[in-house]
Amino acid sequence: MDAFYASVELLRYPELRGQAVVIGGGRRHQPEVLPDGQRRFAHLRDYAGRGVITTATYAARAFGVHSGMGLMKAAALAPDAVLLPVDFDQYRLYSRRFKAAVAEVVPVIEDRGIDEIYIDLSEVPGAQEAVAGDPLGGVRELAQRLKQAVHEATGLTCSIGVTPNKLLSKLCSDLDKPDGLTLLTMDDIPTRIWPLPVSRINGIGPKASARLASLGIDTIGQLAAADPAWLIDTFGSHYGQWLHEAAHGRDERPVVTWREPKSLSRETTFERDLHPRDDRDTLGPIFTRLCDQVAQDLARKDYVGKTVGVKLRYDDFKIVTRSLTMPSPTRDAAVIRQWAGRCLRTVPLNKRLRLLGVKMESLSRGLGEVVAQEPAASYSLPLFEGL
């Protein structure tokens, strides 16, 4: 989906169409409805806090702002951009709508989060046929039908890449945004893929890009030309092998329609950095709330977890994690709270904290019972005991 959160917001506030709009931050910058029915929006320059941009309209991106950027930093670049709070419920609603619309056309769908899917067109009748001399005519028509179905169901545009595999489709879906359609065969790889920077490959992030650049490899073509044995020596057997395959556009991963979740977590960044001792009265309830939320999430999805973990981010942004595996799985908030507390006791608590998180791993299916959860708050357990 194109600039998904921002595009959903524009459906609600059409008067903002064409403007620089940024989505992010907390509840505090809700648009205000004036007596004459006009809406007044907050602007980036009014923002104070630690939020980041989740999505920006294309007009906003022209100022150099992008998702993940701190709102304060973005305000320096585009002070007059409209700022809207995130409304996940609304995005989830539109997510369900666009996925349902696609499912009407093609049933084999892999979920890749709120605004992305992979679709397997291999078995779709007509997809492999030429139309009017165009060997890709069948898939082209199918893709157009998908785009139309999504637009009719949501009023939103999407961008599609149709290729022999997931790696290439993901890459191609990005080449013609917004409202794009890119078709590609293996024969097109040298001309259309190899000139692109390596960072366009899903799985080559900032670290690997920088490392490759330092070795004189900037484009996918240069990566494809690199000796696979040397890549393995340099990046390890698994990643090195994968880099070689990816550069040649090879990817055998199937479209997976269902995956068991592996972990479930809640975390929160504080409005100001908190000291483990001086602010323990503030931290305690936050910690308990995170455990309660994790327990509720487990119950809602009907899972139990055997490993409890905590995550801390210090004021210097360094992250520390601790985890412990329990004798038996649970979804009980008080038990989670107790084991998370044990994890916490092994962590150095000499610096201010920026973030606290609680995580459950080694998940297994619950028993289907829908039991009201006793909140951990009703058990008063000391936090950071022994300090």
Active centre residues (catalytic): 116
In angstroms, the CA 14 to CA 8 distance is 10
Taking the CA atoms of the chain, what radius of gyration do you get in angstroms?
24
Asked if residue 170 binds DNA (CB under 7 A), the reply is yes
* Comparison of 58 and 270: residue with beta carbon closer to DNA: 270
In whole angstroms, the minimum distance from the beta carbon of 132 to DNA comes to: 34
Amino acid identity at 54: T
* Comparison of 244 and 359: residue with beta carbon closer to DNA: 359
The count of other CB atoms within 10 Å of the CB of residue 321 is: 12
Angle at 274 between CA 271 and CA 275, to 5 degrees: 175
Element of type H or E holding 363:
strand 353-365
In whole angstroms, the minimum distance from the beta carbon of 202 to DNA comes to: 5
In whole angstroms, the minimum distance from the beta carbon of 25 to DNA comes to: 8
Distances (CA, A) of 1 to 88, 89, 199: 15, 17, 20
Asked if residue 70 binds DNA (CB under 7 A), the reply is yes
The site map against DNA for 324-363 (x = CB under 7 A) is: xx-----------------x--x-------xx-x-x--x-
Do 266 and 290 contact (CB within 8 A), yes or no? yes
Do 173 and 196 contact (CB within 8 A), yes or no? no
Asked if residue 90 binds DNA (CB under 7 A), the reply is no
Asked if residue 197 binds DNA (CB under 7 A), the reply is no
Asked if residue 250 binds DNA (CB under 7 A), the reply is no
The count of other CB atoms within 10 Å of the CB of residue 148 is: 12
> Judged by CB under 7 A, which of 52, 103, 232, 377 binds DNA?
52
* Comparison of 138 and 292: residue with beta carbon closer to DNA: 292
In whole angstroms, the minimum distance from the beta carbon of 297 to DNA comes to: 6
Helical axes 280-301 vs 333-345, angle rounded to 10°: 130
Asked if residue 112 binds DNA (CB under 7 A), the reply is yes
First to last CA, the chain: 49
Q: Where do contacts with DNA occur on this chain (CB under 7 A)?
A: 49-52, 54, 67-68, 70, 72-73, 75-76, 112-116, 170, 201-209, 236-239, 259, 261-269, 297, 306-307, 309, 317, 319-325, 343, 346, 354-355, 357, 359, 362
